[in-house]
Amino acid sequence: MIKLRYLRSMTTAAIPVTKAKSMNNLKARENPVVTKLQSKEFQSLFTPELTKLISVFDKHKFELRIAGGAVRDLLMNIEPKDVDFATTATPTQMKEMFVEEEIRLVNMNGEKHGTITPRINDSVNFEVTTLRVDRVTDGRHAEVDFTTDWLLDSNRRDLTINSMFLGFDGSLYDYFYGFEDLKKRRVVFVGNADSRIKEDYLRILRYFRFYGRIAGSPGNHDKETIEAITENISGLEKISGERIWSELRKILVGNFGLEMMEEMIKCGICKYIRLPESPLNIEEMRRVYGTKQDLQPISYLTALVDSGEEALNIHNRLKLSAFERDLAIFIAENRKFVGTDLKDVSDYKKRCTLHSNRKDFYEELLKYSGETEIYKEFKEWEIPKFPLNGGILKQNKCPSGKVMGAVMSELKAIWAEDNFETSQSDLLSVHLPTVLQKIKINDFPNKKMKTER
């Protein structure tokens, strides 16, 4: 939760630069404009809707710039998927401005975080956030004040590569040398790493996520940064499982996913995401990454656990989706059958049909196990429809209830063993009497079975 407080002095003038420079003992550039960007990716942003948004802020004498990740992407010649904006206008001033210009506002929940969302030409939403400065932080939440000082807002951001702003004339405003760090593929915090992590412990995971996106090699971490992460790793206990998983799942499937996970394990993350601290299946994780398959994030993480129970422990902490939870348990409990009970594609077809019908789970298990050729054949296979149902069995004098379930399972096993080719008539005339006799004798010896008359 972010709490906002208005400073009277900030509504009319920026905090002096000398004060901003003293924060966190950071050395900021005297002139933050370091280059001008005129790439095709930058020019592609100028839609009629954005042009109108810019004109509204110009008309009302408020500054507006592109902020954060979009700036980083544009400098890497990547067209950003999402573009966020920062402004010197407060939320109240923005609301008044857009009402005057007859521009509709949407998603008013963002206002509590300082964000206003105008919908331009009834087609495009823009998230615009007032410049802020942290007043109080506790590792999870922050109380912030509005400001008109771009340097102060830049100073509160996590990484130097995320602390830049871009003007609409192409001017890059870089106060803390993020431009140079980006060119060097260097990922470091703004100022003191220990202080920035203590403000929000989720920044530990953000560091590794962005390292995977930016760095050119997996092992070029800043020594002081890793030391600060290790010293503060226990702070993840304060962070919700949902927020942790949101970052971790991106790390697992990002560049250097294996190396990032190994580095985080060295830093002590296991305890805080409920991974077993010892023994840990590092070699299994290395093998899974070595298959070079496109797997679900949870599949990589499951490589580190020994059982379905340990997979469930991860879910209890990270609050996985139902799909991710069930997939993790499935892989943890079924990978031991690969190469033994499951040797060829027919084994997978039978097991899938008889035990779960979760074809997607078996496909993931095959990729996880590196069974590429079997996977290709299995993926093309469509689960056939079993030719019997409860109504048909009743018509053929099969008892209802638990007995019918047992009969159905036996007949389905016969059908699957015959490569799903046994006809309905053969199942009923040839196999049903035998199955009924078998179940009557062996499974329900002391019960009277009622048949349909």
Distance CA 172, CA 154 (A): 13
Residue-wise pLDDT tens digits, 324-333:
999 999 999 9
Q: Indicate the pLDDT class of residue 6, thresholds 50, 70 and 90.
A: very low
Secondary structure letter of residue 278 according to DSSP: S
To which residue do tokens 């062996």 refer?
442
In sequence order, what are the beta bridge partners of 122?
Answer: none
Does 335 score more than 50 pLDDT? yes
Q: HSE of 303 in the Cβ direction (CA atoms, 13 Å)?
A: 26
pLDDT digits (tens, 9 = 90+) for 11-27: 333 344 444 444 555 68
Overall average pLDDT of the 231-240 stretch = 97
Confidence of residue 282 (pLDDT cuts 50, 70, 90): very high
What per-residue confidence (pLDDT) applies to 441? 52
Q: What is the pLDDT of residue 232?
A: 98
The pTM for the full model equals 0.86
Per CATH, the number for 186-271 is 1.10.3090.10
Percent of the chain whose pLDDT exceeds 90: 83
* For the chain, domain boundaries: 1-184, 186-271, 274-383, 390-442
* Residue 439 clears pLDDT 70, i.e. is over it: yes
| The pLDDT of residue 450 | 43
Which residues are within 8 A (CB) of 171 and not within 5 positions of it... i.e. 6 or more apart?
Answer: 33, 36, 37
Instruction: Quote the DSSP letter at residue 189.
Output: B
Band the pLDDT of 159: cuts 50, 70, 90: very high
Instruction: From residue 398, give the alpha-carbon distance in Å to each of 292, 412, 435.
Output: 50, 15, 10
Local structure of 118: helix, strand or coil: strand
Bridge partners (DSSP) of residue 118 are 105
Residue 32 has φ and ψ, to the nearest 5°, of -75, -15
Reported residue count of the chain is 453
Whether omega before 276 lies within 30 degrees of 0, making that bond cis, reads no
CA–CA distance, 232 with 26 (Å, rounded to integer): 21
DSSP letter string, 308-365: HHHHHHHHHHH---HHHHHHHHHHHHHGGGBTTTB-SHHHHHHHHHHHT--HHHHHHH
- Which of 122-136, 170-184, 327-341 is least confident? 122-136
380 CB contacts (<8 Å, ≥6 apart)? none
Instruction: Please check whether the two domains, 186-271 and 274-383, share a CATH topology.
Output: yes
- If you write DSSP's letter for every residue of 231-273 in order, what string do you get? HHGGGGGGS-HHHHHHHHHHHHTSTTHHHHHHHHHHHT-GGGT
Check residue 214 and give its pLDDT. Answer: 96
Q: What mean pLDDT is predicted for residues 295-320?
A: 97
Q: Which amino acid is at 405?
A: G
CATH topology assigned to domain 1-184: Beta Polymerase; domain 2 (3.30.460)
* d(C-alpha 64, C-alpha 404), whole Å: 70
Q: Is 46 helix (H, G, I), strand (E, B) or coil?
A: coil
Give the chain's mean pLDDT. Answer: 90
Q: Which tens digits make up the pLDDT trace of 347-399?
A: 999 999 998 779 999 999 999 999 999 999 999 999 999 999 999 999 999 99
Supply the pLDDT for residue 23: 54
Tokens describing residue 43: 């020019």
Look at residue 440 and tell me whether its pLDDT is greater than 70. no
Residue 287 above 60 pLDDT? Answer: yes
Q: Which residues pair with 146 in a beta bridge?
A: 132
pLDDT at position 63 is 98
Q: What pLDDT, in 10s, does the model give residues 110-136?
A: 888 899 999 999 999 999 999 999 887
AA letter at 246: S
The amino acid that residue 51 corresponds to is T
pLDDT at 5 over 70: no
* pLDDT at residue 27, as a whole number: 81
pLDDT at 113: 83
Rounded to an integer, the average pLDDT of 139-163 is: 90
What φ, ψ does residue 238 adopt, rounded to 5°? -80, -15
At a CB cut-off of 8 Å and minimum separation 6, what does 58 contact?
none
Question: Which tokens sit at 26?
Answer: 């950071």
Q: Does residue 139 carry a pLDDT above 80? A: no
- The CATH number assigned to the domain with range 274-383 reads 1.10.3090.10
